[in-house]
Amino acid sequence: MTLRKPLYALLAAAVLTMTACGNDNKQVPASATHNMNNGIDLSHYQGVIDWDELANDLDIGFVYIKASEGTDIRDEMYHYNMMNAHRVGFITGSYHYFIPTVSPVLQFRNFRSMVAPSDIDIVPIVDVETRNNLKPQEFRDSLQIFMDSLEVAYGRKPIIYTLWAFYHDCIQGHFPNYKLMIARYCDQMPVLKDTADYLIWQHKSDGSKMGIKGNVDLNVVTPNHSIKEIMFDRALKKLESTENKK
């Protein structure tokens, strides 16, 4: 996942005039015909995406979209991306880039101001890549406050996204009840040193997809798991209803 980059201000201004995204415009899930256990994550870094072209890629079923970072950064492409991901029928989720040295409560408020529970089909992700020189316990306490707030607001525990090395340095053994998304860019699925199970593997940061100019992160649900594990009940029922009609 990607830190803040130069802004797409003109498009952002247009996006602000649009209706806030929601499930009212959502079509038949793309996952009914797509590989729903493969996905990508996006932010304004990818620029303006041709969502209709991207929807033709049958190897994508779910999309995580950056909503916020820290206490006051809001991804200006979020509503545009979320609205279009809904429109073409992808399974959708949102993520927040966590900054340990600023208030976890204000970070939660920042994320919540962007993401209505009805916007997302799958549980939120908290992107954790550094402790910014905080003491390990201070870092973990701050992260826990943020994640507890997400759970209260959205009704499910968030997923922890982190790098393979950072997991072993700071996460391992401390958040056993949270599902994990591990980033490590290699040809074979990595095994964590403590052999912990994880749900999603981010296996590439320089992927290429139709409709996206430049690189994009590629993600895959690991064997013995399914994207359905992290779907909210309303989204899962809609998906299963579609599958039953096939």
Q: Give Cα 150 to chain centroid, integer Å.
A: 14
In this model, does residue 13 exceed pLDDT 60?
no
Q: Which CATH class is domain 9-244?
A: alpha beta
pLDDT value, residue 18: 37
Phi, psi of 96 (to 5 degrees): -125, 135
State how far the Cα of 1 lies from the Cα of 45, in Å rounded to an integer.
10
pLDDT digits (tens, 9 = 90+) for 111-142: 999 999 999 999 999 999 999 999 999 999 99
| Domain locations along the chain | 9-244
Could you give the CA distance from residue 229 to residue 204 in angstroms, rounded to a whole number?
Answer: 23
User: How does pLDDT run across 52-72, given as a tens digit for each residue?
Assistant: 999 999 999 999 999 999 999
The partner residues of 96 in beta bridges, in order of sequence, read: 68, 126
Question: Measuring CA to CA, how many Å separate 194 from each of 169, 172, 190?
Answer: 12, 8, 12
pLDDT bucket at 31, cuts 50 / 70 / 90: low
Active site (catalytic) residues? 41, 129
Global confidence as pTM: 0.88
